[in-house]
A and B are shown apart, each in its own frame.
Chain A
Amino acid sequence: MPVSVTKDVEKLKDTSVASPQETAATHSGASTPQGVVDVSSVRKFLMARGNSAVADRGFRWLMIACAMSIFAIVALIASELIARSQLSIAKFGIGFFFKQAWNPVTGDYGALTFIYGTLASSIVALIIAVPLSIGVSVFITEMSPKFLRGPLSFLTELLAAIPSVVYGLWAVFVLVPILRDDVNPVLMKTLGWTGFFAPPNFGQGVMTAGVILAIMILPIISSLTREVMTAVPGSQREAVLALGATRWEMIRMGVLRNARIGIVGSIILGLGRALGETMAVTMVIGNRPEIVKSLLAPGYSMASVIANEFTEASDSLYLSALVEIGLALFLVTIIVNGLARLLVWAVTRGASARVA
C-alpha cells in the first residue's frame, strides 16, 4: 500500500535526516554519518590526551553523584515508609491487609476496605478506558486523515496535562449530577439484576471514581498504544493487505496482533497510575469505609484514606497504619510499573533499533 510506504519514509526522514539549518546550528559543518568510524576509540584517544584530568574526573564524579542521588531518594522513601509503619506491621502483621476493621477509637486497623475500593475503581476505569484508548489509537495511527493526526494526538495529550484536582472539581460539579440523574438510573434498570448497580444512588461512589479515573488514564494508555502500533513495521501491514485483507483485517492481524504485548504493557501502566491517583478519587468516591457489592455505593480508596486522615491521625498507631497503606501502594506501583515498562520495552526495542 502506498499509504504505509510514504509513512515509513516520513518516519525515516524525521529520525535520521538532519535539516540544513539544524546542522548549521550545531557548530559543525561536517555531519559524518554515525557508525562509519569507531567513534568511541577516537574519543578515548583524544580524551586521554587532554591535560585536564583532574577537572574531568571531578566533573565525571559530580555527574555520577547526581545520578546516585536518584538511588538515594528512592532508598530514603522506601526506608522512611518501612520505618514509620513498623508499629502497625508489628501489631497486625500480614493480617492487616485482610481485615475490614478501621476504628481509630479502639485502635483496630485493617486495609481490606481500601484495597477493595482502589481495585474496584481501577477495574471500572480500565473497563471503560481500554476499549476507548485502543479505538482512539487505531483511528489516529491507521485511519485518520493526515491533517487530523497531529491535532488529535495533541488533544489526547492535553487530557494528561489537566491536574488531578481540576478533574476532581469538574467531577464533583458536572460528572456526579450527570451520573446520578441520567446514567445510574438506566444502569440500575437494565443491569440492576447483577447486583453491581443497586441503590443507594448518591452520585458519589466507586463507579464515579472509576469514570473519572478512566478519563485520566486514557491519555497514558493511548499514547503508549500509539507508540507500539507505529513501531509495527509497515511491511506487516503491506503483507496482510497484499493478501486481500480489508482495512480492519489488516489492523487486527497485522497491527494489533503484533503490538499486543506492548498494548498490555500500556494498559498495566495505566493501571499503575489509576492505583495511585489521589485527589480526583478522594473528591468523588464518597469516603465511606465499607465494602458493598454495588458500584454505585460510596467506598474508600487507599490513596484517599491517606489524603483525608493523615493530618488528623492522633496517635502513632493510627499514623503507622496509614503509612503502611502508603507502603503497600508504593510496592504495588513499583511492581506494576516495572512489569509495564518491561512489556513496552520488549516491543519497542526492536523497532527503535531498526530505525536507528
Chain B
Amino acid sequence: MSSRYKTGKATQIWRSATNHMATGLAVLSTVLVVAPLIAIFVYLIYKGASSLNLAFFIKTPRAVGEPGGGMANAIVGSALLLGIGSLIGVPIGIASGVFLAEFGRGGKLANAVRFTADVLNGVPSIVMGIAIYSLIVLPQKHFSALAGGVALGIMMIPTITRTTEEMLLMVPHSIREAALGLGVPNWRSVLSITLKTASPGIITGCMLAFARVAGETAPLLFTAFGNQFWSANLNEPIAALPLQIYVYAISPYDEWHRLAWAGSLVLIVLIVLSVSLVRFVTTRGVLKGAN
C-alpha cells in the first residue's frame, strides 16, 4: 500500500514497469483472443474448400461407405425452417417492439415485456427444443419441419423486439407529430412514418436474429429431427444444415467428416456475409435509423 505514495526513483521504475507489463498483458490477451478465431477460419476454409464441390449443392447424402453425395436436402431444409421461423419471429418481434416504443413507454407492462424478452433470450436452445417437443411434436406424434421452424421463430423474437424498440426510440417526436398534425391516424403514422423511418435499423435486427438462429442445432434435435432424403413436407422430419453437420461430425467416417467441413464452411460464409453486410451498411450510415 505504502509504495503508492512514495516518490523515490525505485517507485517510479516500479510504476512504469507495471504500466508496461499491463500494456503487454492487454496486447497478449488480444492476440490470444484473435488467434483461435483465425485458427478456426483458416482451418475451416482449408478443410471446407477442399471438400466443397458442385455435388455438395445438388446431391443428397449417400449411404455410409459410398463416396460422393452432398447436402442439397439440408440446404433446402434449412431454408424452409428459417422461412417458417422468420414468418413467426419477424411479425411478432416487430409488433412487440412497436408496443414497447410507441404504446408502452416506461410503463410497468412494457418493463415486464422487456424483462420477459430477456428471459426468452437467455433460455438455453436445448430447453427450447424440449419445450417445442412437448408442445408440438408429442401431440402430433411425429417430428416435423413445422415444429423446428416454430422453435427457431421463437428464438428470433427477443432480438428483433429489442432492436425494433431501440430503433423506434431514435425516431424524433417531431416526425410523429407532423404526421398526426396532417390528420394521419395514429396507426397509419406508426406504420408508414415511424416504422419506415426506422426500417433500416429494424432490418438489421432481423438479419442478426436470422444469422443467430441459422446455426442453431440444439432446438432442432427433437423437432425437425433431420432427414437423409428429400423432403419439403412441413409435416415430416426435415434435414437442416447444422443438424447434418452434427451427425456427420460425430460419425466415424472420413467421407462424412469431409462433408461436415464443407457444410460448416457454407454455413459460416452465409452467416458472416449477413453479419458483415449488416455491419458494413450500418457503419456507413445508410441503414442508420434517424437520430
Q: Is the CB of A63 within 8 A of B135?
A: no
Interface extent on B, as a size class? Answer: 35 or more
CA distance A74 to B246 in the complex (A): 28
**Looking at the complex, which one of B92, B124, B216 makes contact with A276 (CB distance below 8 Å)?**
B124
- Inter-chain residue pair count (beta carbon < 8 A): 315
Interface residues of A in 6-20 (CB under 8 A from B): 15-19
Contact B177 A63 (CB under 8 A): no
Check B217–A277 contact: CB distance below 8 A. no
A interface residue numbers (CB < 8 A to B): 15-19, 21-23, 25-28, 30-32, 34, 39, 42-43, 46-47, 50-52, 55-56, 58-60, 62-64, 66-71, 73-74, 76-77, 80-81, 83-84, 131-136, 138-140, 143-144, 150, 152, 154-159, 161-170, 172-174, 215, 218, 222, 246-249, 251-252, 272, 275-279, 283, 303, 306-307, 310-311, 322-323, 326, 329-330, 333-334, 336-338, 341
Q: What 5 A-B pairs are tightest by C-beta distance, nearest first? A: A163-B215, A276-B124, A135-B29, A66-B95, A59-B187
| CA of A159 to CA of B215, assembled, Å | 13
Q: Is B218 an interface position by the 8 A CB rule?
A: yes
Closest to A17 in B: B291
Q: A64-B103, A338-B119 are in contact. List 12 more A-B contacts (CB 8 A).
A: A39-B173, A46-B180, A52-B188, A63-B98, A71-B112, A158-B37, A161-B271, A222-B33, A246-B18, A278-B218, A326-B130, A333-B127
Nearest B residue to A327 via CB reads B127
User: Which residues of the other chain, B, contact A25 by a CB distance below 8 angstroms?
Assistant: 197, 290
30 pairs from A and B in contact (CB 8 Å cutoff): A18-B290, A25-B290, A27-B178, A28-B172, A31-B172, A32-B172, A39-B177, A50-B183, A70-B117, A71-B113, A76-B131, A80-B130, A81-B130, A135-B29, A136-B30, A136-B33, A158-B272, A158-B275, A161-B271, A163-B215, A165-B215, A165-B249, A166-B245, A168-B246, A249-B19, A303-B124, A303-B218, A326-B127, A326-B130, A333-B124
User: Residue B126 at the A interface, CB < 8 A?
Assistant: yes
In angstroms, Cα B272 to Cα A25, docked, is: 29
Residues from chain B with a CB closer than 8 A to the CB of A15 are 291
Q: Verify if B27 is at the interface (C-beta below 8 Å from A).
A: yes
A14 to nearest B CB, angstroms?
9
B221 pairs with A311, CB closer than 8 A: yes
Q: Given the known inter-chain contacts A55-B187, A66-B91, A164-B215, please indicate yes or no for A139 contacting B26, CB distance below 8 A.
A: yes
How distant is the Cα of A167 from the Cα of B249 in the complex, in angstroms?
A: 11
Cross-chain contact of B267 among A55, A152, A163 (Cβ < 8 A)? A163
B288 within 8 A of A: yes
Interface SS of chain A: helix, strand, loop or mixed?
helix
* Bound Cα distance A152, B173 (Å): 36
What CA separation (Å) do A172 and B115 show in the bound complex? 37
Are A136 and B175 in contact, with the CB atoms below 8 A?
Answer: no
- Indicate the member of A69, A155, A162 with the most B CB atoms within 10 Å: A162
